[in-house]
Amino acid sequence: MSDISPAALRGAVDLSSLRNRPQPPASGEAPAAPGGGAVSDVVLDVTDASFGEVLELSRTVPVVVDLWAEWCGPCKQLSPIIEKVTREQQGRVVLAKVDVDANPQIAQAFRAQSIPMVIALIAGQPVPMFTGAVPEEQVREVFARLLEVAAQNGVTGSVTPGEGGTAEPQEAPLPPLHAEAYQAIEDGDYARAIAAYEKALAENPRDEDAKAGLGQVRLLHRVQGLDLQKTREAAAAAPRDVQAQLAVADLDLAGGHVEDAFARLLDLFAELPAGERTPVRERLVEMFDLVGSADPRVTAARTRLASLLF
């Protein structure tokens, strides 16, 4: 959303259980200072135990909380964009990254129904930003609005990495086609990103990074421009329309509703005659690869698909 308001979630989210929680001392790393000043980095990995420091820090500088998980494909598209835009703010914004699988209390406190979910904290109050993957242009617009709202509420401080912080690791340069795909994604040109990843796979069929990136960007391309309400209404009106059901399943997966996406397509697969099942089976297999074979939801869905096939 782009018109954020600090009162939007006030009273709807109770963060009191995460305040002043005891936490082990961090060795060799400067913690986020409650009053601003020095922090280990403007991008912090935050846990259930350390979240109280983030709440206090938000009284000085707006904090963006990124709720993500390793299995979440859209998170892998959105999180790097949020980190990039955060660093460009030069200390006027801090990013708190939260792995929801490892830190369920934070996810419960924010009532996270799907991920990626991004919330800001201004003076300890939650402010909604995004649910689901969004393009970089929209991220920048919402960050600008966030700084405006923070200033309206007297939160205008900044932070700098302290001496305890570690230098940013130097990443190996991306292969040219991967770099082209990333740039295309940042530009919102998903068709060009798909073409770059497909070319990378044609050159090296074992390129797992290209395979994963291709699945993620294909999903983003399919959901780009879809109206959620209209898409769901169309699917409800035509329960056996394959394309209508595939569109809703894509939106569910992009929004982090993995089980809903799988269940919809498996139910559809069960109802269709054998000659009409192929597109549904292919989309399910693509989604399995996107979520990851180790995910228990994929295991359960694969088992049901096998039982329907044989």
Mean pLDDT of 196-204: 95
Nearest to 217 by CA among 180, 244, 263: 180
Tokens representing residue 109 in the block: 């406190």
pLDDT at 256: 85
Active-site residue, from 57, 64, 69, 75: 75
SS3 for the chain is: CCCCCCCCCCCCCCCHHHCCCCCCCCCCCCCCCCCCEEECCCEEECCCCCHHHHHHHCCCCCEEEEEECCCCHHHHHHHHHHHHHHHHCCCCCEEEEEECCCCHHHHHHCCCCCCCEEEEEECCEEEEEEECCCCHHHHHHHHHHHHHHHHHCCCCCCEEECCCCCCCCCCCCCCHHHHHHHHHHHCCCHHHHHHHHHHHHHHCCCCHHHHHHHHHHHHHHHHCCCCHHHHHHHHHHCCCCHHHHHHHHHHHHHCCCHHHHHHHHHHHHHHCCHHHCHHHHHHHHHHHHHHCCCCHHHHHHHHHHHHHHC
pTM: 0.50
Tokens representing residue 269 in the block: 């697969």
Told to judge if 72 belongs to the known catalytic residues of this protein, a careful annotator would answer yes
Residue type, 85: V
If one looks up domain 229-310 in CATH, what number appears? 1.25.40
pLDDT at 30: 36
pLDDT tens, residue by residue, 207-226: 888 888 899 899 999 998 89
Cα–Cα distance between 98 and 20 in angstroms, integer?
A: 17
pLDDT at 161: 65
Q: Considering only 21-25, 133-137, 140-144, 154-158, which range has the smallest mean pLDDT?
A: 21-25
Cα–Cα distance between 287 and 249 in angstroms, integer?
A: 10
pLDDT tens, residue by residue, 59-106: 999 999 999 998 888 898 899 999 999 999 988 999 999 999 998 888
Mean pLDDT of 243-248: 96
pLDDT at 261: 95
Flag whether pLDDT at 122 surpasses 70.
yes
Flag whether pLDDT at 143 surpasses 80.
yes
Angle between helices 208-223 and 73-88 (to 10 degrees): 90
Flag whether pLDDT at 306 surpasses 90.
yes
State which CATH number among 3.30.1280.10, 3.40.30.10, 3.90.1150.10, 3.40.640.10 fits the domain covering 16-160: 3.40.30.10
pLDDT tens, residue by residue, 259-295: 999 999 999 999 999 999 999 999 999 999 888 888 8
Told to judge if 66 belongs to the known catalytic residues of this protein, a careful annotator would answer no
Mean pLDDT of the chain: 83
Flag whether pLDDT at 254 surpasses 90.
no
pLDDT at 151: 86
Flag whether pLDDT at 118 surpasses 60.
yes
Position 164 confidence tier, pLDDT thresholds 50, 70, 90: very low
Q: Which residue has the higher pLDDT, 1 or 82?
A: 82
Active-site residue, from 72, 93, 109, 196: 72
CA 183 to centroid of chain Cα atoms: 18
Position 255 confidence tier, pLDDT thresholds 50, 70, 90: confident
pLDDT at 39: 55
pLDDT tens, residue by residue, 28-69: 333 344 344 445 689 999 998 888 888 889 999 999 999 999
pLDDT at 294: 81
